[in-house]
Amino acid sequence: MEIQIALICEEIDEERKSFLDFLKKKKNVTVFLANDESQLLKFVRNEEINIVLADYYLKKTNPLTFLRKIKKIKPFIEVIFFAEEITFAKAIEVMKEGAYDFYEFPVNNKLLAMVISKAIEKQDLYIAKNNLEKKVKEKFNFDKIIGSSKAIRTLKNTVENIAAKNVNILITGETGTGKEMVANAIHFNSERASGPFIKVNCAAFNEGVLESELFGHEQGAFTGALAKRIGRFEMANEGTIFLDEIGDVPMSTQIKLLRILQEKEFERVGGNKTISVNVRVIAATNQNLKELIAEKKFREDLYYRLNVIHIEIPPLNERKDDIPLLASFFMNKLNKENGYGIQGITKESMQVLLNYQWPGNVRELENAIESAMATCKKKVIESKFLPSFLLLNNPETSDFFQIPFNLTLPEMEKEVIRLTLLRTNGNKTVASKLLGISLRTLQRKVNEPV
């Protein structure tokens, strides 16, 4: 690694010459020598300076003001001051202002080399952190919520306004509308952005496993608990936990969730030690929680703890004006990722997209665009390259299936399932909702012979 050091002093005496010569002899080190403040600041602006070595007593220069000017230009530059004599109070003063270190002459060259090395390590961490924050902002800024419809403008304003507020949030909306993306945007634009963002799909675990996932367990808490496990709430301390599919949480686990929301503490499964956490909770569901409350499947007190702020994400079929923007966004993204080289989409193809009802919402649209781009043999997506389920969806056939009359009842059921899966691009979750059956039932019927 190339290290660039700027040294500012008004005269080169034996002491200064000693460590100047020492630095010049070091491999991969370039030294810039400045006689005054203006020349030093010019180096800072125009060169890739890592370290500034500065005399504390420079004529016409206030060390604190000088330090602030450097940090304003490039905050990551580390400044080390030197002086023949210095009071402890003055040394502390510049250190509080952001100086890396302070030394009195004579300088131990080996110690100086070690200090510079440590300062470079600190600088690397600063730059890495800054780059990460920049990437996070690029990835999760509010512009990533694509659309110009009134519904999306309202959503963006709501998300932007509540991101910094340290309250729990309930996000509702159909499958594929982008609930996790909104949760990401809220976390990474909040004061907790430097803390962890932990995601849990509550529908993916049965009751016993879910409690262990959320709260952790102690060794020997149950058969197979061979070691202590840290739960997701502990992992999310000082950050945010995203509880997706909150409507699928069993009642017994809901009681424990209520406690952690009220008291910010819990015990691991099989443990008696109380653990305190500081966590923001963002929950999401595609179910109607008020209906679940009426059916005694969801606790009303938990609902109100989660629903401090409610965000409803509109389905794609209620904001079709956004489809051209979304299609363009996905095409640009996929071109960059896979080098497809697709330049656009025909008016006929866009009309097909606008005619479809998109039961799988934005996720289904992205899948359809990717499918079309992968099969497209031209620079522009023509309708023949669109997925077949979109082409079946025209004004004449959009509300019914055409099924042969000579099928048995089980065969008809099988055909309806096949056509529904075709229309939903293979999305079984969406298909099960359209058919009015559970996902498990649909999977069983798909696999069973006629």
Query: Does pLDDT of 413 surpass 80?
Result: yes
Q: In this structure, is residue 272 part of a structural domain? A: yes
At residue 121, the pLDDT reads: 81
Separate counts of helices (H) and strands (E) for the chain: 19, 16
| Chain segment 289-342, per-residue pLDDT in tens | 999 999 999 999 999 999 999 999 999 999 999 999 999 999 999 999 998 999
Q: How many CB atoms lie within 10 A of CB 248?
A: 18
pLDDT band at 415 (very low <50, low <70, confident <90, very high): confident
Same domain, 117 and 49: yes
CB-facing half-sphere around the CA of 140: CA atoms within 13 A:
22
| Chain segment 417-433, per-residue pLDDT in tens | 888 887 776 778 878 88
The 3-state DSSP class for residue 17 equals helix
| Chain segment 109-136, per-residue pLDDT in tens | 788 788 888 888 887 777 776 666 665 5
Residue that finishes a domain, picked among 87, 103, 135: 135
Q: Is 262 exposed, middle or buried (0-12, 13-18, 19+ CB in 10 A)?
A: exposed
Mean pLDDT value across the chain: 86
At residue 397, the pLDDT reads: 38
Residue that finishes a domain, picked among 135, 161, 184: 135
13-17, 129-133, 446-450: least confident range: 129-133
Q: In this structure, is residue 208 part of a structural domain? A: yes
Same domain, 71 and 210: no
Q: In this structure, is residue 404 part of a structural domain? A: no
The C-alpha atoms of residue 19 and residue 424 are separated, in whole angstroms, by 72
Same domain, 309 and 419: no
Q: How many CB atoms lie within 10 A of CB 212?
A: 19
Q: Model pTM greater than 0.75?
A: no
Same domain, 111 and 224: no
| CATH number of the domain bearing residue 268 | 3.40.50.300
At residue 398, the pLDDT reads: 46
Q: How many CB atoms lie within 10 A of CB 418?
A: 14
Query: Does pLDDT of 44 surpass 80?
Result: yes
Q: In this structure, is residue 371 part of a structural domain? A: yes
Q: In this structure, is residue 191 part of a structural domain? A: yes
Rounded (10°) angle between helices 179-188 and 109-140: 140
Same domain, 219 and 280: yes
Question: How does DSSP classify residue 313?
Answer: P
pLDDT band at 13 (very low <50, low <70, confident <90, very high): confident
Same domain, 116 and 176: no
Which residues sit opposite 345 in a β-bridge?
A: 381
Q: Is 342 left (phi over 0), alpha (psi -120 to 50) or beta?
A: beta
12-26, 55-69, 95-109: least confident range: 12-26
Q: In this structure, is residue 401 part of a structural domain? A: no
Q: In this structure, is residue 174 part of a structural domain? A: yes
The C-alpha atoms of residue 394 and residue 392 are separated, in whole angstroms, by 6
Question: What are the C-alpha distances in Å from 40 to residues 43, 82, 325?
Answer: 5, 16, 49
At residue 448, the pLDDT reads: 82
Residue that finishes a domain, picked among 314, 335, 352: 314
Same domain, 295 and 248: yes
Query: Does pLDDT of 36 surpass 80?
Result: yes
Query: Does pLDDT of 170 surpass 50?
Result: yes
pLDDT band at 215 (very low <50, low <70, confident <90, very high): very high
Query: Does pLDDT of 198 surpass 90?
Result: yes
Which run of H or of E encompasses 345?
strand 344-345
Q: State the total domains in the chain.
A: 4
pLDDT band at 396 (very low <50, low <70, confident <90, very high): very low
Which run of H or of E encompasses 290?
helix 289-294
- pLDDT, average across residues 367-381: 92
Q: In this structure, is residue 442 part of a structural domain? A: yes
At residue 250, the pLDDT reads: 94
Same domain, 310 and 353: no
Domain of residue 180, residue span: 142-314
Query: Does pLDDT of 142 surpass 70?
Result: no
Query: Does pLDDT of 41 surpass 50?
Result: yes
pLDDT band at 141 (very low <50, low <70, confident <90, very high): low
| CATH number of the domain bearing residue 354 | 1.10.8.60
Q: Do the beta carbons of residue 222 and residue 241 sit within 8 Å?
A: no
Same domain, 278 and 305: yes
At residue 329, the pLDDT reads: 92
Same domain, 309 and 414: no
Same domain, 113 and 10: yes
At residue 143, the pLDDT reads: 66
Same domain, 154 and 288: yes
